[in-house]
Amino acid sequence: MRRTSLAVILLFLAFLFLTAMGGKGGGFERAPRVDKNFAVTVTDVSGNKINGEKFSWEGRVHFAGSLGMASINIPFEKIKEISIGEKKEKKVKVTAKLKDGSETLFDIEADSRCYGEAPFGSFMLTLEEIKSVAFTNR
């Protein structure tokens, strides 16, 4: 009985150890594939600009966030540019300038990721690392 209990405990500890190794670390290899190609100019918080395409947010071609108590979804087709504001708790404020001339302000998870393809290869940035994203017509 004691051997069985020890074996179960060791298996459980091995499971915990192995699953802890798969965090969000530097495992980025390439941008997710998307159905629609959106060309962008991404400016990060340090001022660097990346011109890219096949842009996505978490592998999707829309932003999903919250506006007060409402959950919202804004397709990239409607967006001209987004600006990322201050981080508060685990969220950032996003101002979306829409193609129809209107603006909307919403919250989105700060650690969510944006992906794209650039001439040098793939790129990935979290929203808290981005200052702005301009959607271009290339």
Express each pLDDT in 111-130 by its tens digit.
999 999 999 999 999 999 99
> Which pLDDT value is given to residue 8?
52
> Which pLDDT value is given to residue 22?
46
Buried b or exposed e, range 96-122, using 16+ CB within 10 angstroms: bbeeeeeebebbbbbebbbbbbeeeee
Residues of the chain whose pLDDT is less than 70? Answer: 1-3, 5-28, 138
Express each pLDDT in 23-33 by its tens digit.
444 566 777 88
Kindly report the average pLDDT of the chain as a whole number.
86
The secondary structure element, H or E, covering residue 18 is helix 2-20
> How many CB atoms neighbour CB 130 within 10 A?
19
- Determine the residue type at 132: S
Q: Where along the chain do its domains lie?
A: 39-136
